[in-house]
Structure 1
């Protein structure tokens, strides 16, 4: 399973937008896209969060 860097939430960006801003706006589609771009599959995200994929 891909590893997660906790610094992402404060310092990373997705398509030029700070991830902290994406999270504050509850733009979870962008959060999932960010994670997928870093090697996380939908199944892996589901397993880690308890969300059924």
Structure 2
């Protein structure tokens, strides 16, 4: 399958869920903060790719 996006936020969330699932089970605030960072990273890359186009 051809990758059409420079950054895949869904894959990033899945990666974090797999890596930190047990840790976040007991600390949802930590998981929320990591999702926020992933969302900000996605928006930065999205805006950078829009500037290139």
TM over 0.5: no
- Rg larger in 1 or in 2? 2
Identify which of structures 1 and 2 has the higher relative contact order when contacts are C-alpha pairs closer than 8 Å and 6+ apart.
2
**TM-score normalised by the chain length of structure 1:** 0.28
Specify which structure has the higher proportion of strand: 1
TM-score between both structures, scaled by the size of structure 2: 0.28
